[in-house]
Amino acid sequence: MPEKVSFVVGSSSNPIIIETGKFAKQADGAVTVQLGETIVLVAAVAASKAKPGQEFFPLTVDYRERAAAAGKFPGGYFKREGRPTEKEILTSRVIDRPIRPLFPKGWYNEVQVQSVLLSTDGENDPDILAIIGASAALSVSDIPWEGPLGAVRVGRVGGQFVVNPTHAQMVESDLDLVYVGNAADHVMFEGSAKEISDADFAASLEFAHQACQPIIAAQKELAARAGKPKRQITINIVPEDILKEAKNLAGERMIPALLTTKKLEREAAVKAVTDDVGAKLVAKFGAERVTEFVLKDAFYYIQKEAVRSLVLDSGKRLDGRGFADVRPISSEVGILPRAHGSAVFARGETQAVVLATLGTTEESQEFDAYTGGQTQKQLILHYNFPNFSVGETGRISGPGRREIGHGALAERSIEPMISLKEFPYAIRVTCEIMESNGSTSMASVCGGTLALMDAGVPLIRPVAGISVGICTEYNDQKEISRYRLLTDIIGWEDAFCDMDCKIAGTEKGVTGFQLDLKLKGIPHKQMAEALEAARVARLHILVEMGKTLAESRKEMSKYAPRILTLRINPEKIGALIGPGGKNIKRIVEESGCEINIEDDGSVKIYSVAEEGMKIARSHIEALTCEIEIGKIYRGRVVSIKEFGAFVEVLPGRDGLVHISELANFRVKQVEDIVKMGDEITVKCVGIDEKGRVKLSRKAAMEERDKEMAAKA
């Protein structure tokens, strides 16, 4: 029978409803989560046994949006949803990261957690509901998992924190925090902010944590009423006798190998030890027992134990730094001649080459937004992580989920510092990772900032980012008894320790953040200390970056498009475009410029060549300028009547020179003074209520005579 729980989070008038037993009943666990008229289905299934030879935990998390949920058709020719969008990929990642550490270590049965958007009201974002749904589906299932988790989005409007704000509220918010927590600790967070202070950011985490508690309580209630007993499982562990012998054979050799300063040398030294020990283990126990999996797992355990002992017992890091030290920083700008902006940023053995490209706003990225919110991006940051950056070979393909996630983190860290409304360009930042040994996403933030400043993009303030790790030890009460924070973690500290907390910001506050844990959670005390360590490191990095380029260049690259914005009467847009686009096409062809026309009468001219911009401006002004009373024009006679001549003074705009205004004497007939096609100088002497223009050749001649007399 279906079961449901309903609860209110924060000050919302709409309850969140979690229901199970109605849909997807053949899944191991399935729920729907509803807020307002937004509904997400989440189903979880685990294979009954691991695949032969399986050596890792194969968890797949997938989130998909259906156009029908918003009452729409998909865009494109096929009218069917295709590969996942960037939003779907990022939502899949934000579900995956908090639930993954809570599965049993050494359990290798395949698990799939799939989320489908069934209904959207365009106000309540489904990503938070999908996280809650994944936790609830796993909680009611028979799949072994140490949940539940609560999830909320926190904004700050008018200085007040808001739980699960609507899209309308988020427009006014200076914080976008996606937070996941358990009953006691922080588990995951990510998002962006508009220079929120470090203290206020820490306060937002505490606020979010408290908001999660009713969500956790509701899932426990649902699991008690409708949950299945957890299945019995088999854990894959290295046989005790083999592990003990591997430790004996490795002896003290592993420590000096790990303390080798350079990454590749360290890897080679460790490999020499593991190859030697592995061969001896096979000789003693036989290849049937000492499989590749057993060797891999055994050496991972030995290395992890050694790294953690070095940190906690000996107070040493693998590369010899102090725990609060940032690796040596170097940077350059303007390194690539044709790029609009370019930089290389290196922090230790992590190096990013970053290019900035400026284009017209027509090149902004547009996308379907079934759930409401943003439909266009003016700033795009793409992150690429080639195999050679870690000295390896591998499959070469398009960007994976990790690359898309790292790019999104760097993008949202930088974006708050660009006044996009005042800088009418599309901006693309391309981060090419050249070397990787820890936190390339934060190197992309630093390199991206330098490349943008090199391109002349007016940043409010430079942005830098850093990652802080932690190495912990727990007592019998499952409380942290010892720990060390590690500023600017390297790859092996990330692999063998417990946290990767990335914080980006300016000298004034935080702009981007992301927490990943291997722990089940981290208390607020340690988290607050990590935020302070990140703040100190960030300020140090900003000083080092400032030695290379302290602020945005005043002049853009000669290869970047210049922009000129003209304002015309919106009623003149039709005249500017012309029949079938005839006028605007002619201007583009003659000037070589790109021209964008907005409904409010804003005309943006983009051109690399100054001469082309002058040509375009001249044509546009000629087509759209209004005839002004008292102004003198040079015009062409386009029609002759008995009572006067019509003179075109602007393209498509003419006026009448009455016969009495053709000369300062009596004129018998118009043809005595002008003929068809003649160019004459006239002055606008009036415009009547119907818009008819009155011109005078006589007044223009009199004004010319006055000017000549004044000069004489």
- Tens digit of pLDDT for each residue in 601-651? 888 888 888 888 888 888 888 778 778 888 898 999 999 999 999 998 876
Check residue 33 and give its pLDDT. Answer: 97
Domain boundary among 548, 582, 611: 548
Element (H, E) at 220: helix 198-226
The yes-or-no verdict on residue 530 having pLDDT over 70 is yes
Of all residues in the chain, what percent carry a pLDDT higher than 90? Answer: 66
Q: Do 200 and 292 belong together in one domain?
A: no
Check residue 547 and give its pLDDT. Answer: 97
Domain boundary among 514, 548, 582: 548
Q: Do 64 and 158 belong together in one domain?
A: yes
Condensed to tens digits (0 to 9), the pLDDT of residues 377-399 reads: 899 999 999 999 988 898 898 88
- Please indicate, yes or no, if residue 438 is contained in any of the structural domains: yes
Check residue 402 and give its pLDDT. Answer: 93
- Please indicate, yes or no, if residue 324 is contained in any of the structural domains: no
Structure tokens at 377: 């991006």
Check residue 712 and give its pLDDT. Answer: 66
- Please indicate, yes or no, if residue 319 is contained in any of the structural domains: no
Condensed to tens digits (0 to 9), the pLDDT of residues 491-529 reads: 999 999 999 999 999 999 999 999 999 999 999 999 999
Band of pLDDT at residue 234, cut at 50, 70 and 90: confident
- Which range is least confidently modeled, 357-371, 464-478, 589-603? 357-371
Q: In CATH, what number is assigned to the domain containing residue 671?
A: 2.40.50.140
Condensed to tens digits (0 to 9), the pLDDT of residues 275-299 reads: 998 999 999 889 888 888 888 889 9
Q: 411-432 in b/e burial notation, b at 16+ Cβ within 10 A?
A: bbbbbbbbebeebbbbbbbbbb
Check residue 268 and give its pLDDT. Answer: 92
Kindly report whether the peptide bond that precedes residue 148 is cis, defined as omega within 30 degrees of 0. yes
- Please indicate, yes or no, if residue 23 is contained in any of the structural domains: yes
Integer Cα distance of 349 and 316 in angstroms:
19
Q: Do 600 and 655 belong together in one domain?
A: no
Check residue 569 and give its pLDDT. Answer: 82
Domain boundary among 193, 226, 259: 226
The yes-or-no verdict on residue 366 having pLDDT over 80 is no
Q: Do 118 and 196 belong together in one domain?
A: yes
Check residue 494 and give its pLDDT. Answer: 94
The yes-or-no verdict on residue 207 having pLDDT over 90 is yes
Check residue 227 and give its pLDDT. Answer: 95
Q: Do 449 and 500 belong together in one domain?
A: yes
Check residue 64 and give its pLDDT. Answer: 96
Q: Do 510 and 572 belong together in one domain?
A: no
- Around Cβ 677, how many Cβ atoms within 10 Å? 8
Q: Do 470 and 568 belong together in one domain?
A: no
Question: In terms of DSSP bridges, do strands 29-35 and 16-20 run parallel, antiparallel, or are they unpaired?
Answer: antiparallel
Mean pLDDT of 475-490: 93
Q: Do 262 and 295 belong together in one domain?
A: yes
- Give the distance from CA 590 to its chain's centroid: 38
Q: In CATH, what number is assigned to the domain containing residue 497?
A: 3.30.230.70
Check residue 306 and give its pLDDT. Answer: 92
Nearest to 268 by CA among 278, 279, 258: 258
Structure tokens at 159: 């200085």
Q: In CATH, what number is assigned to the domain containing residue 617?
A: 3.30.1370.10
Band of pLDDT at residue 579, cut at 50, 70 and 90: confident
Integer Cα distance of 300 and 311 in angstroms:
17
Check residue 461 and give its pLDDT. Answer: 96
- Which range is least confidently modeled, 91-105, 537-551, 627-641? 627-641
Check residue 312 and give its pLDDT. Answer: 95
Check residue 179 and give its pLDDT. Answer: 98
Band of pLDDT at residue 688, cut at 50, 70 and 90: confident
- Please indicate, yes or no, if residue 383 is contained in any of the structural domains: yes
Check residue 698 and give its pLDDT. Answer: 92
Residue 344: C-alpha distances to residues 262, 413, 449, 550, 660 (Å): 20, 18, 11, 15, 74
Residue scoring higher pLDDT (522 or 600): 522
- Looking at every residue in the chain, the average pLDDT score rounds to 92
Mean pLDDT of 173-178: 96
Structure tokens at 102: 């809570």
- Which range is least confidently modeled, 29-38, 180-189, 235-244? 235-244
- Please indicate, yes or no, if residue 231 is contained in any of the structural domains: no
Domain count, the chain: 5
Q: Do 380 and 490 belong together in one domain?
A: yes
Q: In CATH, what number is assigned to the domain containing residue 275?
A: 1.10.10.400
Q: Do 244 and 353 belong together in one domain?
A: no
- Please indicate, yes or no, if residue 555 is contained in any of the structural domains: no
Q: Do 395 and 375 belong together in one domain?
A: yes
- Please indicate, yes or no, if residue 649 is contained in any of the structural domains: yes
Q: Do 215 and 279 belong together in one domain?
A: no
Mean pLDDT of 561-584: 85
The yes-or-no verdict on residue 237 having pLDDT over 90 is no
Give me the sign of the Cα torsion angle 591, 597, 603, 607.
negative
Can you give the residue range of the structural domain that contains 382?
329-548
